[in-house]
Amino acid sequence: MEIWLLTEHQYASLSPEQKDLPPYMQNVLVEDDSVLKALHSRGVQAQKVDWADAQLDWGRPDALLFRTTWDYYERWPEFSRWLKAASLQSTLLNDAKIVRWNLDKKYLLDLESCGLRIVPTTVWEQGEPIALSDVISESGWDDVVIKPLVSGAAMDTHRVHGATNALNISPPDPKGRNAQKLWAHLLDRQSMMVQPFLPSVAQHGEISVIWVHGKVTHAVHKRAKEGDFRVQDDHGGTVHRHEPQRDELAFAIRTMEVCQEWLQTHDMPPPLYARIDMVMDLDGEWALSELEMVEPELWFRFCPEAADELAVGAISMLSHQIGRQKRTNQGV
């Protein structure tokens, strides 16, 4: 059995033994290496590859396991073409159908339609001729967060608040555009989503619960730096191991139950892994911020055994699939 771990170019040729690497990069390499070692210890041929390497034969491995393909949203047309081609040649983990669904944050509305509590979300399609002041007026929220439907690491994510004729925006646009002009620019390039700004995120952060091979393995608590609302460490946020409380665990499990029911009714298999990001909403209730099932950071450095669970789950899923294919080929 052969499994390739998918990463981006800057991580593909690096190892955790290399010196003088930034701490964040070192963490990434250590965690990817833990997955490779877990696969190797179980007799799997495994290596880390750049998803954008045009020289690779994607039909060679039995499966492609997403890990750190964190440049995909910056190279969306190229990634979309690669995803279509690779999914025809190999098994993707998570499944290709799940990946396509989860790449667009409109999946939140699908989960909400099944009764799951999410951060309230409105969606505006690319090219819609609507001013940001009208978006805010229609939403009923006077303090909002705008972000692309396809993105990562808080790219093009801004908080907007204040009087409609003098909207404040943070972080400021690097090119100096005001909120209205920035919104018009972003909406011209891509579909956007709008959510209410949640003071709890700036004050208390976000809980991320990690789910691997059918069960919760661990959780982390992410906090934004002083004066910011973005909890990602790319923007100065911090992350620590967290012991989930009963209500947090119950919400995470409920999220995965709803998700798997939705996937099943749409002819999709259960996911191998997921990260449930939850925040306290304006009513003081837990709400889903994001359910990451493509290439989420899973913080194996806080729970090394979860990397083993990922390897076990990948082997199990792939073994069952290979077995089904053999039975089909034999006409059983």
pLDDT digit string (tens) for 70-85?
Answer: 998 888 899 999 999 9
Q: What is the mean pLDDT of residues 183-211?
A: 91
Query: In this predicted model, which residue has the larger pLDDT, 117 or 14?
Result: 117
Supply φ then ψ for residue 191, to 5 degrees: -75, 145
Q: What is the mean pLDDT of residues 287-306?
A: 95
3-class DSSP assignment, residue 209: strand
Q: Please identify which residue in the block is written with the tokens 């990922």.
A: 310
- Range name among 9-18, 107-116, 271-280 with the lowest pLDDT average: 9-18
Q: Average per-residue pLDDT in the chain?
A: 89
Are the beta carbons of 294 and 103 closer than 8 angstroms? yes
pLDDT digit string (tens) for 15-34?
Answer: 888 888 888 888 899 999 99
What does the block give as tokens for 84?
A: 């279509």
Taking 70 as the threshold, does the pLDDT of residue 43 lie above it?
yes
Q: Which residues contact 59 (CB under 8 A, 6 or more apart)?
A: 89, 90
Q: What is the mean pLDDT of residues 226-232?
A: 55
Of the pLDDT bands very low, low, confident and very high (cuts 50, 70, 90), residue 328 is very low
pLDDT digit string (tens) for 112-144?
Answer: 999 999 999 999 999 888 888 888 888 888 899
Q: What is the mean pLDDT of residues 230-249?
A: 77
Query: In this predicted model, which residue has the larger pLDDT, 176 or 225?
Result: 176
pLDDT value of residue 225: 57
Taking 50 as the threshold, does the pLDDT of residue 332 lie above it?
no
pLDDT value of residue 321: 73
Are the beta carbons of 180 and 167 closer than 8 angstroms? yes
pLDDT value of residue 329: 46
- Is the preceding omega at residue 174 within 30 degrees of 0, hence cis? no
Are the beta carbons of 311 and 232 closer than 8 angstroms? no
How far apart CA 172 and CA 160 sit, in angstroms, is 10
pLDDT digit string (tens) for 141-184?
Answer: 889 999 998 877 667 888 888 766 668 888 888 888 888 888 88
- Is the preceding omega at residue 168 within 30 degrees of 0, hence cis? no
**DSSP letter string over 241-300?**
EE---HHHHHHHHHHHHHHHHHHHHTT-PPPSEEEEEEEE-TTS-EEEEEEE-SS----G
Are the beta carbons of 275 and 208 closer than 8 angstroms? yes
How far apart CA 234 and CA 272 sit, in angstroms, is 26
What does the block give as tokens for 125?
A: 């399609």
How far apart CA 258 and CA 115 sit, in angstroms, is 8
pTM (whole model) above 0.85: yes
